[in-house]
Structure 1
């Protein structure tokens, strides 16, 4: 069987999920990956056969999206050409993790696909949303990468087609400990937006993962790390808690390990606002604006006695069996 797998590379989560699924998918046949976007900072250990600049995210300095940069870097003519050139009819199955180019190619070539991933869960009206819904945000979630069939992943089973998050094997096999440091992964924040707050709490050790760091080094109470999956996994497994955005994969793994989570969703990023609403239902503290009191917020969060519901891990063989059966129907 020939499998085409499209990955939306607007962050590291989609790629991390694909790398976890890859050895399981190999049991079904050969896989060619399509990488759309250029926001990832991971070492991609996948057979990527096709690439496109697609639509990538651009951030403002301290925790928001830069919509002007996003729009000016979109090339509609190139996107159309990229969709037209994908040889989808050469494949037995098309798996799409929220990529608009693949969805467009399926429509142009009259080929079916199945959307597998977190964004697919938002097809359901039962999936948590913030109190103030965004009409534009809802349109993007439902129409950016449409597919005839959907298998969603989320923190809880909000609907019949929504399954638990895919957790990396290394996380599942680990024995979590608490070495009292706080892991930080906030790719939408520049270094100088948060450094002062971390420095002002010298009694707390931070492991801060940044795209701009090339070598691990320590200054004061902050150890700066490059974005590296093995180093990040180790830090997460041994941390007291993690400060991260309103994404899906990182909070899922932290909650699976029983770690404290402080979520700071990217401003004006509707999917992250939806995830934040779901995390709040699980008892996770959410911060929407980082101000001069951020150090106090961190200290209060660490002092909280937080107990979260146990996060389930996805049964990958069962999910893939369901996916291939769903595709045949």
Structure 2
């Protein structure tokens, strides 16, 4: 069997999931990957056969989306041309993890596919949303990478086709400890936006992962790390808590390890607002703006009760078997 797997390379969660799934997928057949997008920072250790600039998100300096840069990097003519020429008819099975080009290619070339991943869970109206829904956000979630079949991943089983998160083996096999420091992963924030707040808390040690850091460096109470999966896994396993965005994979791993979490969703990022709504339902603190008093927000968070909702790790062989069975129904 020949398998085509499309990965959205906006952010690192899709890439991390693909690397975790690849050894299991190989048991079903030969896998070729299509990497669509241009702003992930993790190296992808799988056989990438096709690449595209795709549709990527870009961030402003301090926690928001850069809509001008997003719009400037979208070329509709190229997207349609790539969708028409993408050789998906050569494959027996098409898996789409939130890529618009693959979705369009399947429609134009009349090829069956399955949307698999976190975004697929939003096909269900039962998946948590914020109190104020976004019409445009809903359109994106419902149609950006739509497919005839959907298998979603989320914190909880909100609907029959939604499965637990893919948790990396390193996390599942870890023996978590508490070394009292705070891990920070906020890719939509530049260093200057938050550094003063961390330095104003000299008694707290921070491990801060930043895209523009190339070498691990400690300055005062902050150790700056490059975005590296090995470093990050080690930091998360031994931290007291993590300050992160409103993504899916990182909060899921932190929940699995029973770490204290502070979620700061990217401003006007509807999917992250939906994730934040789900986290809030589970009792996890969410902050929508850091302002000039982020140090006080951190102190209040650390002094608050730690919430440890139970989440399960995905049984990958079982989910993949379900995926292939669903595809052929």
TM-score relative to the length of structure 1: 0.99
Question: Number of residues paired by the alignment?
Answer: 329
* Match in the other structure for 1:281: 281
Provide runs of 4+ in structure 1 moved above 2 Å. Answer: none
* Match in the other structure for 1:94: 94
SS at match of 2:145: coil
Q: Tell me, yes or no, if the aligned pair for 2:284 and 2:307 is still in contact at 8 Å.
A: no
SS at match of 1:255: helix
Q: Structure 2 matches for 1:1-329, cutoff 5 A?
A: 1-329=1-329
The 2-side partners of 1:284 and 1:247 are apart by 13
Query: Per-residue CA shift, 1:59-98, capped at 9, x if unaligned?
Result: 1110000111101110111111111121111101000001
The 2-side partners of 1:291 and 1:328 are apart by 51
Shift of 1:220: 0.3
Structure 2 alignment gaps of length 5 or more: none
SS at match of 2:10: coil
The 2-side partners of 1:188 and 1:26 are apart by 34
SS at match of 1:17: helix
Query: Per-residue CA shift, 1:147-196, capped at 9, x if unaligned?
Result: 00000000000000000000000000000000011000000000000000
TM-score relative to the length of structure 2: 0.99
Structure 1 alignment gaps of length 5 or more: none
Query: Per-residue CA shift, 1:247-292, capped at 9, x if unaligned?
Result: 0000000000000000000000000000000000011100100112
SS at match of 2:83: helix
Cα RMSD after superposing both structures: 0.6
SS at match of 2:95: strand
